[in-house]
Structure formats: structure tokens, C-alpha cells
Amino acid sequence: MASDLTFKTLLRAVETKEKKLARHAEAVKQAADNIKEHADDTASDADALGAKSVDRDSISECQELAKVIRGVSDGAITYAAKSADTAKAAKAAGDQARTTHGGFQEAFDRSNVTGLENVSRDWLEQE
């Protein structure tokens, strides 16, 4: 299995993770925005109930529900921000890997020496 690990396969795996993290961060943000809309709608419903002379207990329960939903929304927004930060960090790590190690792969690809993939890593480390 270790012999199957190459810069190209590692790079593809990193790029796949970068894309998945970015998609996940965007999906979480959309969900957080959706929850926030529900909290706003519930708060508006509580105000509408108050204008229609509905009993105070019902209005109070509706307002309390709006607060709970807003709390969930705030938590989801925080999670979305942290997901976006993670996606940015993954992108930066991928960019750094490409910058740092991309030249090695280019040199390897240009080389006309055969059997380079079979060279012992121990020998390379000693050199």
C-alpha cells in the first residue's frame, strides 16, 4: 500500500477533501440561514398573535420558541463560520503542498531515468 502512495494520488485526495469541505461549509451556512428565517418567522407570528388579542400564555410560548430557534440559528451560524475556516485551512494546506512539493513531481515527470519509483526512500533520506 505504501508503494501506491504518490504525490499525484495524495494531491488528488487533498483536492477532493478541499472540495468536500468547501461544499459542506456552504451547505451548513445555507442551513443556518434557513433556521434564522424560521426564527424570524416565529417571532413575527408571536407579534401577530399579540395584535389579535390572543391569550398571553400562547404569545409567551411562541416568543419562547422564537428564542430557542434563534439560539439554534446562532449555533448553526457559528458552526458554519468554523466550517468555512476549516475549508480555508484545507485550501491553504493544499496550496502549500502544491507549492512545496509540486516541483519534485515536475522534475520526476521530466526525468528520463527509469525505475525512479522503485528507489528506496531510505537511500533518498541518506542522500
| pLDDT for res 37 | 92
Of the listed ranges 11-20, 34-43, 67-76, 106-115, the least confidently predicted one is 106-115
What integer is the mean pLDDT of 95-119? 76
Rounded to two decimals, the pTM is 0.63
Say whether pLDDT at 68 is over 90. Answer: yes
Instruction: Please spell the DSSP secondary structure of the chain, one letter per residue.
Output: -GGG--HHHHHHHHHHHHHHHHHHHHHHHHHHHHHHHHHHHHHHHHHHHHHTT--HHHHHHHHHHHHHHHHHHHHHHHHHHHHHHHHHHHHHHHHHHHHHHHHHHHHHHH---TTGGGS-HHHHHH-
Please say whether the beta carbons of 53 and 15 come within 8 A.
no
pLDDT interval class at 1 (50, 70, 90): very low
pLDDT interval class at 124 (50, 70, 90): low
